[in-house]
């Protein structure tokens, strides 16, 4: 492995631009980009100063100057694209939601294990400084017995039926784009839920417009979660224990501040650590650490947990009546 781990970017949409901007700002190495369109690849490479633009995903993953591939395509292509990169012996960072369903996620897990490459779901929130500190506070017992997670991710997004967020062919809906954040947060703190109750309202295109979730976890712990794609919510979160609570400010899943308050309203801690970017570099730091250590997954988000989270989302979709074409 070279001193600098070399990133290749598969897909040229908005999330890819954000990711590369953060990587380059932190001095990480991006050597190539691939798109199904030569023009799109060339434009992306020129904008970010990337040396090589490939007119196909196949050419990107075959590039010997690429060590790890970031999968930035819509949900329905994640498994196909990740398997392509794994088949070429590349490590992969796969945008969340990891795949469309748990079956696809398991195929990635199996292929990566067979190839001996590292895989990480790009749930970038897991790796942010405020989330690292929150886990430390909970582990220290500051909150007492942690009982409840409350979180919403409600945004007012485009209503064009052809837009990716509204298109079932591309895994559209609030759940996989927005709900994945509070779901992953609840699983991070409490583990996979033992019982799931889901209610949703669907759009005319057949994806979930808004989804409300109640999870029951081991020990009677609960998560109350909400996502919506056509209403702007507070986008805050709280972790509530028997001795204190953590209130995470807007936007809770991005770099932000939080306050720890006791049951007697005493402020126990105020966390503020500005991040001079969107914060997507932290997941890249972790995957590079994993690769350099000769490991194949991160303890902060093991591949099996990403598969399990997709299983949770499968159950939610079964309850709300959302099925994607081709499933």
d(CA 147, CA 240) in angstroms, rounded, equals 6
Q: Which of 78, 96, 209, 226 is catalytic?
A: 96
Catalytic site includes residue 96? yes
3-class SS letters over the chain: CCCCCEEEEECCCHHHHHHHHHHHHCCCEEEEEECCCHHHHHHHHHHHCCCEEECCHHHHHHCCCCCEEEECCCHHHHHHHHHHHHHCCCEEEEECCCCCCHHHHHHHHHHHHHHCCCEEEECHHHHCHHHHHHHHHHHCCCCCCEEEEEEEEECECCCCCCCHHHCHHHCCCHHHHHHHHHHHHHHHHHCCCCEEEEEEEECCCCCEEEEEEEEECHHHCEEEEEEECECCCCCCEEEEECCEEEEECCCCCCCCCEEEEECCCCEEEEECCCCCCCCCHHHHHHHHHHHHCCCCCECCECHHHHHHHHHHHHHHHHHHCCCCCCC
Supply angle C-alpha 115, 116, 117, rounded to 5.
95
d(CA 74, CA 223) in angstroms, rounded, equals 27
Question: Which of these, 143, 138, 139, lies nearest to 242 by C-alpha position?
Answer: 143
d(CA 64, CA 41) in angstroms, rounded, equals 18
**Beta bridge partners of residue 10, listed in sequence order:** 34, 71
d(CA 72, CA 163) in angstroms, rounded, equals 16
Positions annotated as catalytic residues are 96
């Amino acid at each position: 492995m070279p001193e600098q781990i070399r990133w290749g970017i598969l897909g040229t949409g908005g999330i890819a631009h954000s990711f590369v901007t953060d990587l380059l700002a932190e001095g990480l190495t991006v050597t190539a980009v691939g798109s199904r369109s030569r023009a799109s690849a060339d434009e992306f490479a020129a904008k970010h100063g990337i040396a090589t633009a490939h007119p196909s995903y196949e050419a990107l993953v075959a590039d010997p100057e690429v060590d790890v591939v970031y999968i930035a395509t819509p949900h329905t292509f994640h498994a196909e694209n990740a398997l392509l990169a794994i088949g070429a012996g590349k490590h992969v960072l796969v945008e969340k939601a990891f795949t469309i369903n748990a079956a696809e996620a398991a195929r990635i897990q199996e292929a990566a294990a067979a190839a001996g490459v590292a895989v990480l779901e790009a749930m970038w929130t897991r790796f942010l400084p405020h989330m690292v500190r929150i886990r430390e506070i909970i582990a220290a017992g500051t909150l007492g017995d942690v009982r409840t997670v409350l979180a919403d991710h409600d945004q007012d997004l485009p209503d064009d039926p052809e837009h990716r967020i509204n298109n079932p062919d591309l895994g559209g809906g609030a759940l996989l784009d927005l709900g994945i954040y509070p779901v992953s947060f609840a699983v991070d703190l409490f583990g996979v839920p033992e019982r799931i109750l889901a209610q949703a309202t669907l759009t005319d295109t057949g994806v979930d417009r808004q989804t409300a979730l109640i999870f029951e976890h081991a020990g009677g712990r609960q998560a109350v979660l909400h996502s919506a794609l056509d209403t702007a919510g507070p986008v805050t979160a709280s972790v509530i224990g028997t001795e204190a609570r953590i209130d995470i400010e807007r936007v809770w899943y991005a770099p932000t501040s939080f306050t720890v308050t006791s049951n007697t309203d005493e402020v126990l801690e105020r966390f503020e650590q500005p991040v001079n970017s969107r914060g997507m570099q932290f997941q890249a730091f972790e995957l590079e650490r994993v690769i350099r250590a000769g490991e194949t997954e991160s303890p902060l988000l093991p591949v099996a947990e990403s598969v399990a989270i997709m299983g949770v989302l499968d159950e939610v979709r079964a309850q709300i009546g959302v099925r994607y074409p081709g499933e």
